[in-house]
Amino acid sequence: MQRREFLIKTGLAAATVPLSDVLLAAPEPGQPAPPNSTPRATAILQIKDLEIGKGAPKIIASITASSADQALQQADAIARSGQVDLAELRMDYLPNPGDHAAMLDLIGRVTYSLQGKPLLATWRSQQEGGKQPLSDDEYFALYRAIVEGASVDLIDLEMSKPEAQVTALVDAAHGRDIAVILSNHDFNATPQQAVIVERLRRQQALGADILKIATMPNSPADVLTLMAASQEMFTRYAERPLLTMSMGPLGVTSRVAGQLTGSALTYASVGQASAPGQLQADSVRSVLQIIDQGSRA
């Protein structure tokens, strides 16, 4: 089995299909959802032994180190944690992003330290909550180096970057059997439900393997807006797994409600949190297990 493979499950039947055969057609905007609607096609993304989109949401823990030694220590802690399913290397926390050889070497060492757990490589831009500036040219050069020479399972690309370069990098990653998260982060507000759904649909049309959006709530109603948008996308349009969350203390509910909203992944911490409102992995796992057990009762 390839590292990156989709199971498209409709009703009780499931079949492994090439990514090129997955249909991206969706109902036209404005069409009413049928009563008691269920997902029209549930995609399960296989990364190594991990099935993303099946069962309880999978937990990502971020490596937010400022040095190679710290990164390896955090990777070792994630490897030993029974609560975490995959790791994210936040490259924007590390110095010298232009030294591609050093970054590739570190990625290889982190991969080894993770003892088989999948690795997601992410450079988060300052505009979307990252730690340091990087021009678009440097951003894409770094990711091209990773796609061509690193031992990663997934990369996170921001959908707001120039579209032609994004789609070219998506194609290059798929050519190397690397899955792609297309992401969007709004640290100021929560857009309207229709806007959130439109962004997720755009990510799907651009070829993402996982559709991600994170928004900042200014009220409890904003959290419900994000969750409703996620559930609408999951039920009506999604043919890829979702990763959606409302940030900050107000948004905690959204991080553990994936089986209600359709979000197949969530972030939690092993040590230092990488985003506002992030909980410790053991606490998140306990809640996810309770919800999963209740949903099977």
Domains of the chain: which residue ranges?
4-9+40-296
Amino acid 213: pLDDT = 98
Banded model confidence at residue 94, pLDDT cuts 50, 70, 90? very high
Q: Is the pLDDT of residue 135 over 80?
A: yes
Residue-wise pLDDT tens digits, 54-64: 999 999 999 99
Banded model confidence at residue 21, pLDDT cuts 50, 70, 90? very low
CA 172, CA 50: separation in Å to the nearest integer? 23
Q: Are 39 and 8 in contact (CB under 8 A)?
A: no
Residues with catalytic annotation? 185, 212
Residue-wise pLDDT tens digits, 180-205: 999 999 999 999 999 999 999 999 99
Residue-wise pLDDT tens digits, 201-235: 999 999 999 999 999 999 999 999 999 999 999 99
Architecture of domain 4-9+40-296: Alpha-Beta Barrel (3.20)
Compare 72 and 27 and report the one with higher pLDDT: 72
The mean predicted confidence, pLDDT, of the chain is 87
DSSP structure string for 49-89: TEEETSSSPEEEEEE--SSHHHHHHHHHHHHH-TT-SEEEE
Backbone angles phi, psi at 78, to 5 degrees: -65, -40
pTM greater than the 0.75 cutoff = yes
Q: Is the pLDDT of residue 2 over 50?
A: no
Q: Percent of the chain at pLDDT above 90? A: 79
Q: Is the pLDDT of residue 95 over 70?
A: yes
Amino acid 272: pLDDT = 67
Alpha helix locations (H) across 96-214? 100-113, 136-149, 163-175, 193-205
